[in-house]
Amino acid sequence: MWWGYPGYRRMPPLTQPLSPEQELDWLESYKRELEDEINRIKEEIKRVEEEIENLKKELESMPPEAQQPLTTYPPPYQPTPMPGYGMGYQPMYMPGPGYGMGWGRRMGWGRGMGRGWGAMPPTTMPQMPQLPPLKAGAKRVVAAVEDNNGLNSRISPRFGRAPFMAFVDIVDGKVETVNIIPNQAAGLPTGAGITVAQWIISAQATDVIAPYLGPNVSMVFSQAGLRVHSIEPLISLSDALRRAGLIR
């Protein structure tokens, strides 16, 4: 199976082959994820180019004595990792506006002139629905799904940006309740996977079904003691539960 540009993390091999229709649906979904990321990068490049032009104009308008280099220099920028997008892609980081204190010249590294970039407006975190407490002796299984169709909902190839999340309570190998809830974090610009993972943990989940999880989300689930079942995408939720050995 082809998984595109080598800079992106490839998907693990599937346990069973997909039909051409399923593979096409999966690839188109992955393509949309990449297109969204490309658009975000283009917007960031545009902002950087505008700031470069503004700096050039400021330098041209300054008197010669004010253009002397500083005697001290700021420390080198240290990039930090951040949760990836969609199916595990983790973009390389570059310094830019909106991270930390920004590169504003009124504070931090300031030169006492010009205009500071400041911070970008904070992203409003969605209010994730609360689920009823888990009954004693029950398991709560969570799966990312493509549609709201009960146990016939299809397992999504995405996780953090899946349209819906299915919460299935199981007692003695039998399904007791199924709650299909819209994923309020799907539209976040970054951090959708971690946001969903924290929601799942707070909902007392014991098991997670997903075709693939990024390393950050996998680490969070491992630390919380959740069991992760790797299941191929686009099969029904009921089939996924059976293949994971969670129901009879």
Rounded to an integer, the average pLDDT of 162-190 is 93
Tell me 236's DSSP state.
Answer: B
Angle between helices 215-224 and 192-202 (to 10 degrees): 10
3-class secondary-structure state, position 198: helix
E runs forming strands in the chain: 139-145, 164-171, 174-182, 207-210, 227-230
Q: What is the pTM of this model?
A: 0.53
d(CA 26, CA 20): 10
User: With 90 as the cut, is the pLDDT of residue 69 above it?
Assistant: no
Tell me 218's DSSP state.
Answer: H
Q: What is the pLDDT of residue 125?
A: 64
Convert the pLDDT of each residue in 27-46 to its tens digit. 777 787 778 778 878 888 88
Convert the pLDDT of each residue in 127-169 to its tens digit. 788 899 999 999 999 999 999 999 999 999 999 999 999 999 9
CATH numbers and ranges of domains, the chain: 139-243 (3.30.420.130)
**Phi, psi angle pair for 153, to nearest 5°:** -60, 145
When computed from its CA atoms, the radius of gyration of the chain, rounded to whole angstroms, is 23
Structure tokens at 4: 């595109």
Convert the pLDDT of each residue in 70-116 to its tens digit. 555 445 444 444 444 344 434 443 434 443 434 343 334 344 444 44
Which contiguous run of DSSP H or E holds residue 193? helix 192-202
Tell me 68's DSSP state.
Answer: S
